[in-house]
Amino acid sequence: GAGVSQSPSNKVTEKGKDVELRCDPISGHTALYWYRQSLGQGLEFLIYFQGNSAPDKSGLPSDRFSAERTGGSVSTLTIQRTQQEDSAVYLCASSPPGTVGRSEQFFGPGTRLTVL
Amino acid sequence: GNSVTQMEGPVTLSEEAFLTINCTYTATGYPSLFWYVQYPGEGLQLLLKATKADDKGSNKGFEATYRKETTSFHLEKGSVQVSDSAVYFCALKNNQGGKLIFGQGTELSVKP
């Protein structure tokens, strides 16, 4: 079956512009996660959705970052007024219903964001 | 807080050598432990996992045992291949929450 998909695969933007990154999880997966991978910081958690609600958004680095999920499926991560330090690969993952702590997370290919 | 520490890379081995990548963790409660692998140009994939103490996860010749007494989850393989060249990430997940906490990653390069 189809895996987690993300779009766009690459995004180049100018400092100060807003960007939207999209994630389509595996069908039927109730949990959805956003992470980012950067050279200086490694792999960092951003936000976690269970259905359409976000019980853990502790990893969002500033109020310029927001995310939503609709219909228990697609999620959008929005970064407003982008800064150069936002340059990273943004990864989305989803996991099936079950014990959240033990469930495997399936990762998408990522969106590489470059802020000039 | 919860954290994961893994050995720094890069690690360079010859084909058929024995591999160990050390991973230790700090966590409250009883986390689940994971090894993820990222092959060049590809996304993160789960390699193996263990959900309770003394469990051994295994896949593709790789093994790791959940050692609560030493808070460790070292990755081992008896005979590496060139195709094992990748970046390996150790991670934990607290059973009360959903997020993965990753180590910094260890790059493995296997030479023929």
Is the previous residue joined to A97 through a cis bond, with omega within 30 degrees of 0? no
Instruction: In whole angstroms, give the CA distance from residue B31 to residue B15.
Output: 34
* Residue of B1 and A29 predicted with greater confidence: A29
Contact: B97, A100; criterion CB under 8 Å: yes
Q: Which residues of chain A have a Cβ shorter than 8 Å from any chain B Cβ?
A: 31, 33, 35, 42-45, 48, 50, 55-56, 59, 91, 93, 95, 99-102, 104-110
Contact: A101, B98; criterion CB under 8 Å: yes
Q: What's the pLDDT score for residue A104?
A: 84
What are the pLDDT digits (tens) for B6-23? 988 899 999 999 999 999
**Percentage of the residues of chain A whose pLDDT score is greater than 90:** 82
Q: What's the pLDDT score for residue B97?
A: 63
Is A72 a residue whose pLDDT tops 70? yes
Residue B73, phi then psi, degrees to nearest 5? -155, 65
Contact: A43, B49; criterion CB under 8 Å: no
Instruction: In whole angstroms, give the CA distance from residue A99 to residue B88.
Output: 25
CA distances from A25 to A60, A73, A90, A114 (A): 20, 6, 14, 23
Q: What's the pLDDT score for residue B96?
A: 64
Phi-psi region of A42 (alpha: psi -120 to 50; beta: other; left: phi over 0): left
Q: Is A86 helix (H, G, I), strand (E, B) or coil?
A: helix
Q: What's the pLDDT score for residue B48?
A: 96
Cβ neighbourhood burial of B54 (10 Å; 0-12, 13-18, 19+):
exposed
Is A32 a residue whose pLDDT tops 80? yes
Is B95 a residue whose pLDDT tops 70? no
Test the B interface: residue of A69, A75, A107, A112 with most B CBs within 10 Å: A107
Flag whether residue B93 sits within 8 Å of chain A, measured between CB atoms: yes
Q: What's the pLDDT score for residue B41?
A: 85
User: How many Cβ atoms are within 10 Å of A63's Cβ, its own excluded?
Assistant: 7
Is A41 a residue whose pLDDT tops 70? yes
Quickly list H helices, chain A.
none
Residue A84, phi then psi, degrees to nearest 5? -60, -30
Instruction: In whole angstroms, give the CA distance from residue A109 to residue A90.
Output: 9
Q: Considering chain B, what is the average pLDDT of its residues?
A: 93
Is B28 a residue whose pLDDT tops 90? no
Is A98 a residue whose pLDDT tops 90? no
User: Which residues is B85 bridged to in the sheet?
Assistant: none
Mean pLDDT across A82-100: 90
- A47 and A67 in contact (C-beta within 8 Å)? yes
Is A103 a residue whose pLDDT tops 90? no
- B21 and B85 in contact (C-beta within 8 Å)? no
Instruction: In whole angstroms, give the CA distance from residue B51 to residue B14.
Output: 32
What are the pLDDT digits (tens) for B53-83? 999 999 999 999 999 999 999 999 999 999 9
* Residue of A82 and B9 predicted with greater confidence: A82
Phi-psi region of A39 (alpha: psi -120 to 50; beta: other; left: phi over 0): alpha
Q: Retrieve residue A65's tokens.
A: 């970052």
Contact: A107, B105; criterion CB under 8 Å: no
Q: How confident is the model at residue B5 (pLDDT cuts 50, 70, 90)?
A: very high
